[in-house]
Structure 1
């Protein structure tokens, strides 16, 4: 199985290196020359995307979202992709992924949208989880490729379904952060003990994994990067677009998104998503 990989950021880079350890040979590309050349010690580095297209039997994408994925698919479809497979690990707009799947199938290829859960450290050891959309037959036939970078996959349904379920999951997680970012400074302003707040919540039904991971960041102002704020904004905008397309309100989202957009206006877009707490602390404590 010849694997081509496009997009060597935090997640994609880790996945590519792990595949290289397993298969020994993988051809990779990133739009930034300095990034892709860092992989010359472990991978075959292509200077153009077309080199990767020609080489790969299975092409993997790890990109920010639909605006980056769609032009690559356009270029790919200008070549002969009959018999080839594409696995898009990006978190993209579900309706875009559905259209891409239709175009790829018409050209004789296979397409899966396989949104990931996990972090760069798990990418490097191949223990990510993927929520996969596409035909069931393609999902089953591409299990060997998926298993190169995941320890568990969830079949979500037809094309676009993987992105839909992942966006719903991210929506919940991102808005949890809004709640924590608001209540901790409010309790602090009123003289409350933040450690007692943490201990009580952690021992209750509200003490979920997200709380356990994010609340200490807010308490200590140590916002170690695990998920970039600009990616959180992108995911919320996709969910908002679903509401617009389907003519339904997304009122909770609008409130939370506003806080992230204020944070972006303050230059925090390349910081951890939890750093939205700085915005709330400034409003509440100052």
Structure 2
């Protein structure tokens, strides 16, 4: 990537903050904006007053937000990106959006002279800190090729899927597996404990057998220590599985496993623990 190109990051939650921090460490010229200014202080980079202010000072904007409503607000709300001239700007949206909303974002960017790339990511805080996310991309291919060096700083595996909404649909399908694996592993750990086996030993045995997976390997310490500070929250997986249900409805396909898993994560919401890491689904299984 041309080192003179300036990059802006909007959204400094757990993942967005880690992406921004990693890019700054790689020497990217970075400006950030977050609705909660306190989350910007430790990055040591310029902080914009608003999305409008940010886009006036950068060439590329990376968005990482909770959902499509938040993306819409950042784009079109008061002092949003499109309240300024966006001619020639590139918007890289790493949010896991609703597949039915991304078309709006492509169109709105085009109306304002910008190019929108749909770039949901697979992985959370740890791979983001290492530049080892997997990035799914839809949108204009020449623009993708233009920003590929920047995306390669963020991710070790890039998949260009071309047609708008395909990247988002694939991300939702991936999260069917992610949420289901996490729920199955957490239930197995809780059952092992109930049977009288040490929790740590249950986890080690699962990792040596049928439970061996990237999901359990990533969450083993959280489960062993019952330490559920969020890398990827239950609220996020619940939202994603809801979007997936909408996708299946649009395809006239049932969603068997995913619908059940979604309702399991709904319990974390009713218990008031959905802001914890999604591995905290273990607490639901331990209780019942």
Return the TM-score normalized by structure 1.
0.86
**1:276 paired residue among 259, 281, 284:** 281
Partners of 2:234 and 2:275 within 8 A in 1: yes
Which residue of structure 2 lines up, in the alignment, with residue 63 of structure 1? Answer: 65
Structure 1, residues 102-161: CA drift from partner, whole Å, max 9, x if none?
332343321111112233244344333211111222211221332332333111222222
Alignment of 1:82-97 (within 5 A): 82-97=87-102
Deviation of 1:200 after TM superposition, in Å, equals 5.1
Partners of 1:25 and 1:44 within 8 A in 2: no
Task: Go from structure 1 to structure 2 and tell me whether the alpha carbon gap of 1:76 and 1:259 turns closer, same or farther (over 3 Å shift).
Answer: same
Task: Go from structure 1 to structure 2 and tell me whether the alpha carbon gap of 1:252 and 1:270 turns closer, same or farther (over 3 Å shift).
Answer: same
Structure 2 Cα separation of the partners of residues 49 and 190 of structure 1: 53
RMSD of the alignment, in Å?
2.5
Deviation of 1:8 after TM superposition, in Å, equals 1.7
Q: Which residues of structure 1 form unaligned runs of 5+?
A: none
2:48 is equivalent to residue 46 of structure 1? yes
Task: Go from structure 1 to structure 2 and tell me whether the alpha carbon gap of 1:205 and 1:262 turns closer, same or farther (over 3 Å shift).
Answer: closer
Partners of 2:31 and 2:54 within 8 A in 1: yes
Which secondary structure state, in structure 1, belongs to the residue aligned with residue 120 of structure 2? strand
Q: Which residues of structure 2 form unaligned runs of 5+?
A: none
Alignment of 1:4-153 (within 5 A): 4-23=8-27, 25-39=29-43, 42-74=44-76, 75-153=80-158
Task: Go from structure 1 to structure 2 and tell me whether the alpha carbon gap of 1:237 and 1:49 turns closer, same or farther (over 3 Å shift).
Answer: same
Structure 2 Cα separation of the partners of residues 31 and 223 of structure 1: 24
Structure 1 Cα separation of the partners of residues 56 and 205 of structure 2: 57
Structure 1, residues 64-117: CA drift from partner, whole Å, max 9, x if none?
121110122223234322211100111111221233113323433211111122
Aligned length: 281
Which secondary structure state, in structure 2, belongs to the residue aligned with residue 8 of structure 1? coil
Partners of 1:229 and 1:273 within 8 A in 2: yes
Structure 1, residues 15-58: CA drift from partner, whole Å, max 9, x if none?
2233333346322111112223443xx21111122111111211
